[in-house]
Amino acid sequence: LSVALSGTVLSRCPACARNFANLYCSNTCSPDQSLFTNVTRVANRTSAQGTPQLAVLEYQTFYQQDYAD
């Protein structure tokens, strides 16, 4: 959903939309997240099945300069 909305906003710049989608997917799906992500804020929540869980509310990401460029 977030990527689709950004695509609409960034539609005038296909390269920007692709770069944003790549960054978003890397942040959410990378098997190496622990190497560049630091969770800074969590909250307790209860799943629909009643199981207690932690939800990430805030995080920091760290990228090498060449990746950011």
- Tens of pLDDT, residue by residue over 33-60, are 899 999 999 999 999 999 999 999 999 9
Domain that holds residue 23: 3-64
Mean pLDDT estimate for the chain:
86
Query: Is 67 exposed, middle or buried, given 0-12, 13-18 or 19+ CB atoms closer than 10 A?
Result: exposed
Tell me if 69 is assigned to some domain: no
Q: Is residue 8 part of a domain?
A: yes
Residue 19 forms part of a structural domain: yes
Token code pair at residue 24: 């978003």
Asked, for residue 30, whether it belongs to a domain, the answer is yes
Residue 67 has pLDDT above 90, yes or no: no
Residue 41 class from Cβ within 10 Å (0-12 exposed, 13-18 middle, 19+ buried)?
exposed
Q: How far apart are CA 21 and CA 4, in angstroms?
A: 9
pTM (2 d.p.): 0.61
Task: Tell me how many domains the chain contains.
Answer: 1
Helix (H) or strand (E) holding 38: strand 37-46
